[in-house]
Structure 1
Amino acid sequence: MINNRLKIITSLVVPAVIIATPREWFQIDHLTVIEHRVIALFFLAAMLWITEAIPIYATSILIIVLELITISSSGINVLIVQSGTAEFGEVIPYKAIMSTFSSPIILLFLGGFFLAMASTKYRLDQNLARVLLKPFGNRPAYIIMGLMIITALFSMFMSNTATTAMMLSIIAPVLFCFDQNDRGKIALALCIPLAANIGGLGTPIGTPPNALALKYLTGVDYIGFGQWMSFGVPFVIVLLSISWVLLLKIFPSSTKEIKLDIQGEFSKTPKALVVYATFCLTILLWLFDFVHGMNSYTVALIPVGVFLSFNIITKEDLKKINWDVLWLVSGGIALGLALGESGLAEHVVASIPFDVFSPLVIIGLTAFLAALMANFMSNTATANLLLPIIATIGTTVLSLEPLGGSKMLILGTTLAASLGMALPISTPPNALAHATGIIETKDMLRVGVLVGGVGLVLVFALLYILKTVNFL
């Protein structure tokens, strides 16, 4: 309790000091009162997201409320009475801040949640796992490969956390088939969160940073669902293969044969058939958006409409939706809106002499920073904090244009943010796997650092290839 109080006090003191600091001390040209307040809000969000003094989704809601009170057109009169003057700056329309709750990104996630809930409710996930794992036999190395492939596939379209929980429940009895000192069981338990974290990179809805990136990849930089998968899936395959080899080398198994016993069969009820058909149709529409013209946000609402209409998702099911994730993402979008609409992001970037740095150095540093931060805070919070600034850097630093500009930086930062998986606190899948008691922090750290390092190298290689083929 005392420790948490200290976190809260520290998180409040930092923005309070920022507000009390004269604006001219920031060395940012033309810094307005509104921008000064946004800086304080940014650091408040950063402190609370990093320390988790309050739940991270609560931080997002708090930031939205504080934005409405202090920098919006519907704020407290005494705080916005000077709005419109050069020194004070322009307030942000309150409707723009509130609309972050209904952003297309939020609806994209909502569609993903509906697919995940319906798949679990009608056992589509476990039955697919049962069918798809059958070809991998009983040897530990190949079962681990199969588990990683299935987990990565599920995590492309489902919550990484839900995927990990499901897969860990499937293998829980199998973990006890190993001898007490057999390190192979560590590989078996660790392969699930590793594959869930990596698999999420394959699609725009696989992990929150991907969806957040789409917020900034608009206009000529827009990336469709199928386009993302065209580079995301090969990236996942390569990194997953390397991770599999590393796991087998670091945690070799002395057990010759194990048996995965997943019971069940595909349901043939009318509702189950609707779920199967809708699941396949939604994925196909996402993949072929360039044919039918609907974007991924529109397609995501199809399963919502179908499942509610057929009573496949009921009122009780709606209570189980991960609303906290939606609120967390909303807060990130709202923070990005404040940084952009206030003019702060542009002014901050203009005050830093990025032009003196090599564009390769800028790309490398931003990706490394994202990966490093994501090891100590959620990758969503990392993306929330970095992407608004990264997007501005990409559009204002002219030396980056030959390498792909903001599109290059946003993709590099987004992919790197999902490579922070070295600690139990780094991602929810890591925390779930660590809770099994099979994995020690040092085991997770060893593999997470190696995979993260390899992943960063692959990110740079991917960006080079995308630029070579004129994708960037």
Structure 2
Amino acid sequence: MKFSHSIQFNAVPDWASKYIAYSNLKKLIYTLEKKVNEAATAQRDDEERTSLIRDETDPDPIFRRALDNELDKIAEFYQLKELELYGELEELIKDKDTYLKTQVEELGNSTELDGSQLLNKRRITLSTNIPAATSPTSLSPTNGKRTGGAGASVAFQSDSDSENSEDELISSTSGGRRRKRASTVGTIGSNDLLSSKPRHRNSVVYDEFNEGLLTDLYDQRITLKKRTINLYVSMVELKSFIQLNKTGFTKALKKYDKILNRNLRDKYITGSVLPAYLFQESTVKNLGNGINSVEEVYAQLITNEDVEAAKKELRLYLREHVVWERNTVWREMIGIERKAQAANLGVRRTLLGADVPDERMRRQGDEAEPEKTELRTPLGTVTCPRWLISSNFFVLVISIAVFLALLVAPIFHSAEQRGCFAILVFASILWATEVIPLFVTSLLIPFLAVVLRVVREDTKPHSRLDAKDAAKYIFAAMWTPVIMLLLGGFTIAAALSKYHIAKMIATKVLSAAGTRPQTVLLTNMFVAMVASMWISNVAAPVLCYSIIQPMLRNLSPESNMSKALILGIALASNVGGMASPIASPQNIIALQNMKPEPSWGEWFVISLPVSILSILAIWIILLVTFKPGRGTNIVPIRPMKDPFTGVQWFISIVTVATIILWCFAHRLEAQFGDMGVVAIIPIIMFFGTGILTKEDFNNFLWTIIILAAGGLSLGKAVNSSGLLHTIALNIQHATHEMSLYGVVVTFAALILVIATFISHTVAAAIILPVVAQVGAQMEDPHPRVLVMVSALMCSAAMGLPTSGFPNMTAIMMEDNQTGQRYLRVKHFISRGIPSSIATFAVVVTVGFGLSRLVGF
């Protein structure tokens, strides 16, 4: 959680304006950053005027004044509040002493009950389940012996059906809400309730004790208890007030030093913050002593001087108070965020030329859509659920109808092939339209494959497997070494991201890029490509966008440089998805369909030149179309100054060792067997040592893993049923006059079109098994060439905002100040489609040539 949200969440609502204005200080920091950079850029060529302007625009005095104002405001409020609470504490102690003295004087003169004198003058226990107007029904003497001093200890008990009311009376400490508690607070111990024998003198007891006296004592005790709890809560909140504001000053100064490259934090904290009255150690110590005094008062009043029990009960009241208060504040914060989002984004957005409802905004709106709607028909108005007339529902119905029709259509002679073809088409429609989540469609594939019995034996006579054997067969296809390889990639990505290794390396490279727009753009694109190789092309653009935020803050949202940067990172991340076997799920599916699997070294020989040339081609397209160098002032990225820790060195060594083993996997088959076994090394090393936790494991992209597993099971089913062989023969017949290169170009173009409109992973799951089979059936078999080129083309499809995760992330990028989106759909169409075509040309020429050179 950001500290600006954390301070709102933890602040006392009534004191909200008295805390450090952290958000305002952040805005001031960004404003100062912009002014300093503008002044430095305007006077870069004039050294004398530059030094003069730097003196005039020195941001330290401005920021110091803002901090001083905040410090004065906080200190003034604290002193007033401290004086108020200490005054209340002094009055509470006096009233407590008066109450105990009155209690002893009034009840100490009571007559003896049946020979037993009331003892222990300070331990009166009034049961909390006695209403003020109700008299006790029984009295039990505590001891049969007299003690020195006049005093009594009395225990009253109410009827068994009477209600607990004390907690309701003190409900003001939590905003008028307190749950009832069955246990009675403040009753004496069992040893104090001992009596020699039962007594049946209720009428005598009632006569001896005045009802008004009991009611008055009870009311005084409840009032004191309420005051004690309220004072305890207020003093703890005041202590939290000190801690939150101290953290706020530290974080604000740290951000200031980082963004403006200054060294103000240590000097200001030492010279101004720590000497302030509220941050002094003596002040905090005195406040702690005050809290201890409140706990002692509560112990004397309620828990028979048991301080530990008093602390426990007071903390319980504090916890309930904070839970209620934070729940209220959190709801208000969410409401404010929703309104801000609605103002910035609108309820509807235009996508691909059509007016499409923004589902996220609809779900987050203040008013939920009605669950039912009225449908007018010639026979009258019919009320039906909204989902029944939604477009997704009709697409799902049509998909099911197509599926059932293909099951009975005589397209193929074999029942297994008919069923498998129906599953293939059904899954493709569901994946392409996303009427249900992608991973749900993937889980539907093994279910249908087993139920329809489309799986056959791998060996002749290829007899149809029963449901039990088919289940084992299809589930074995879902968990293969390549899925383990994907998990290993996720583990490395999580470690590199969590411990900021990727960010440190990226900022180090970007800091050397200088301020020339063309160089900065190209450097950011290569950083995005390299990051996509190791932390996936899903996380890479998010990392890169966070790094360039200082640069974006100093550029206008309408600046061509802003658009070129964001779009360039997205397109480069797509290209980076082909650079390594773990960069994207489609590469995992490609490895599964290449026999034998290529080593990492072979993959790099092909993918790296293709990626580098594609990045250069896209860079030229962006320079020509955006012309980002015109009137653009670039703020250089500063490298992270934190030293490389031992944990970071350990992660780096394990990562590099794992990659080396992957590169030489074929030579190490006798030791490891498969790359998936090598992938277990980082999982054990990072999770076993506590570097990554169970939460990190749960945060893996399991939907992607299930999606890839579903694609593998579909390919296995299509192959086992004989459908793949039949389709491959038909395609081979249609392309028998084509050369190998002609088939490569044909399939590359087909995949480029399909992957532009649907997920890259889905396109790979559907097409790559077919491509592998077609290559195997050719007169000159080269299935690995076809699969390799096709896999590279899956990542090259980037013509629309929906073409891959990087594009989806890029189109949602907004200016923090105005909430205005940097990119529109037209930017992807006008730059993304030419970039896809340029990458296509590189893949079918350089990629194909290198594949043949490697021996595919």
The alignment's TM-score, normalised by the length of structure 2, stands at 0.51
Q: Offset at 1:290?
A: 5.2
Listed one character per residue, the Cα deviations across residues 24-60 of structure 1 (whole Å, up to 9, x for unaligned) are xx1x4xx311211111110111001100111111111
* Aligned mate of 1:234, from 606, 609, 633: 609
Confirm whether residue 184 of structure 1 aligns to residue 184 of structure 2. no
Higher helix share: 1
Q: Offset at 1:11?
A: 2.0
| Aligned residue number for residue 812 of structure 2 | 435
Listed one character per residue, the Cα deviations across residues 218-239 of structure 1 (whole Å, up to 9, x for unaligned) are 23xx310111001111111111
Secondary structure class of the residue paired with 1:249: helix
Q: Offset at 1:291?
A: 5.3
Confirm whether residue 70 of structure 1 aligns to residue 452 of structure 2. yes
Q: What amino acid sits opposite 1:20 in the alignment?
A: V
Say what the alpha-carbon RMSD is for the aligned residues. 2.3
Q: Offset at 1:89?
A: 4.1
**CA distance 1:148–1:463, change in 2 (3 Å):** closer
**CA distance 1:347–1:468, change in 2 (3 Å):** closer
* Aligned mate of 1:326, from 705, 711, 719: 705
| Aligned residue number for residue 168 of structure 1 | 545
Q: Distance in 1 between matches of 2:651 and 2:853?
A: 38
**CA distance 1:230–1:87, change in 2 (3 Å):** closer
Report which stretch shifted further, 163-172 or 265-274: 265-274
Confirm whether residue 259 of structure 1 aligns to residue 635 of structure 2. yes
| Aligned residue number for residue 240 of structure 2 | none
| Aligned residue number for residue 46 of structure 1 | 428
Aligned 8 A contact 1:354 1:397 in 2: no
Listed one character per residue, the Cα deviations across residues 123-156 of structure 1 (whole Å, up to 9, x for unaligned) are 1111111111121112221111111111101111
Q: Distance in 2 between matches of 1:150 and 1:200?
A: 13
* Aligned mate of 1:358, from 738, 750, 764: 738
Q: Distance in 1 between matches of 2:419 and 2:662?
A: 40
Secondary structure class of the residue paired with 2:582: coil
Q: What amino acid sits opposite 1:15 in the alignment?
A: F
Q: What amino acid sits opposite 1:11 in the alignment?
A: S
Q: Distance in 2 between matches of 1:376 and 1:206?
A: 20
| Aligned residue number for residue 317 of structure 1 | 696
* Aligned mate of 1:286, from 642, 652, 662: 662
| Aligned residue number for residue 76 of structure 1 | none
Aligned 8 A contact 1:113 1:321 in 2: yes
Aligned 8 A contact 2:606 2:851 in 1: no
Listed one character per residue, the Cα deviations across residues 81-118 of structure 1 (whole Å, up to 9, x for unaligned) are xxx99998445632221123421111111001001111
Q: Distance in 2 between matches of 1:415 and 1:464?
A: 10
Q: Distance in 1 between matches of 2:484 and 2:580?
A: 15
| Aligned residue number for residue 525 of structure 2 | 148
Aligned 8 A contact 2:755 2:797 in 1: yes
Structure 1 segments, 4+ long, off by >6 Å, are 84-88
Higher gyration radius (CA): 2
Aligned 8 A contact 2:748 2:793 in 1: yes
Unaligned runs of 5+ in 1: 74-79
Aligned 8 A contact 1:282 1:303 in 2: yes
Q: Distance in 2 between matches of 1:116 and 1:181?
A: 33
* Aligned mate of 1:6, from 376, 394, 416: 394
Confirm whether residue 337 of structure 1 aligns to residue 716 of structure 2. yes
Aligned 8 A contact 1:155 1:199 in 2: yes
Q: Distance in 2 between matches of 1:470 and 1:368?
A: 23
Q: Offset at 1:252?
A: 1.2
| Aligned residue number for residue 727 of structure 2 | 348
| Aligned residue number for residue 600 of structure 2 | 225
Secondary structure class of the residue paired with 1:158: helix
* Aligned mate of 1:271, from 647, 661, 670: 647
Aligned 8 A contact 2:492 2:682 in 1: yes
Q: Distance in 2 between matches of 1:89 and 1:234?
A: 46
Confirm whether residue 446 of structure 1 aligns to residue 830 of structure 2. yes
Q: Distance in 1 between matches of 2:646 and 2:690?
A: 12
Confirm whether residue 465 of structure 1 aligns to residue 849 of structure 2. yes
**CA distance 1:261–1:387, change in 2 (3 Å):** same
Unaligned runs of 5+ in 2: 1-386, 814-820
Q: Offset at 1:418?
A: 1.3
Aligned 8 A contact 2:785 2:848 in 1: no
Q: Offset at 1:181?
A: 3.4
Report which stretch shifted further, 446-455 or 370-379: 446-455
Q: Distance in 2 between matches of 1:245 and 1:7?
A: 41
Q: Distance in 2 between matches of 1:292 and 1:257?
A: 52
* Aligned mate of 2:770, from 389, 394, 398: 389
Secondary structure class of the residue paired with 2:800: coil
* Aligned mate of 1:205, from 582, 588, 596: 582
Q: Offset at 1:271?
A: 2.9
**CA distance 1:449–1:267, change in 2 (3 Å):** same
Q: Offset at 1:283?
A: 2.2
Q: Percent of aligned pairs with the same residue?
A: 27
Aligned 8 A contact 2:533 2:579 in 1: yes
Q: Distance in 1 between matches of 2:645 and 2:848?
A: 49
Q: For residues 23-38 of structure 1, what are the structure 2 equivalents within 5 Å?
A: 23=410, 26=411, 28=412, 31-38=413-420
| Aligned residue number for residue 500 of structure 2 | 123
Secondary structure class of the residue paired with 2:749: helix
Aligned 8 A contact 2:488 2:679 in 1: yes
Aligned 8 A contact 1:42 1:335 in 2: yes
Q: Distance in 2 between matches of 1:470 and 1:189?
A: 35
Q: Offset at 1:179?
A: 3.0
Q: Distance in 1 between matches of 2:502 and 2:854?
A: 37
**CA distance 1:470–1:314, change in 2 (3 Å):** closer
| Aligned residue number for residue 77 of structure 1 | none
Aligned 8 A contact 1:170 1:262 in 2: no
Q: Offset at 1:339?
A: 0.5
Q: Offset at 1:274?
A: 1.9
Aligned 8 A contact 1:124 1:266 in 2: no
Secondary structure class of the residue paired with 2:578: helix
The alignment's TM-score, normalised by the length of structure 1, stands at 0.90
Q: Distance in 2 between matches of 1:86 and 1:10?
A: 37
**CA distance 1:7–1:208, change in 2 (3 Å):** same
Secondary structure class of the residue paired with 1:54: coil
Aligned 8 A contact 1:72 1:94 in 2: no
Q: Distance in 1 between matches of 2:849 and 2:551?
A: 41
Q: Offset at 1:292?
A: 4.4
**CA distance 1:102–1:247, change in 2 (3 Å):** same
**CA distance 1:61–1:262, change in 2 (3 Å):** farther
| Aligned residue number for residue 791 of structure 2 | 414
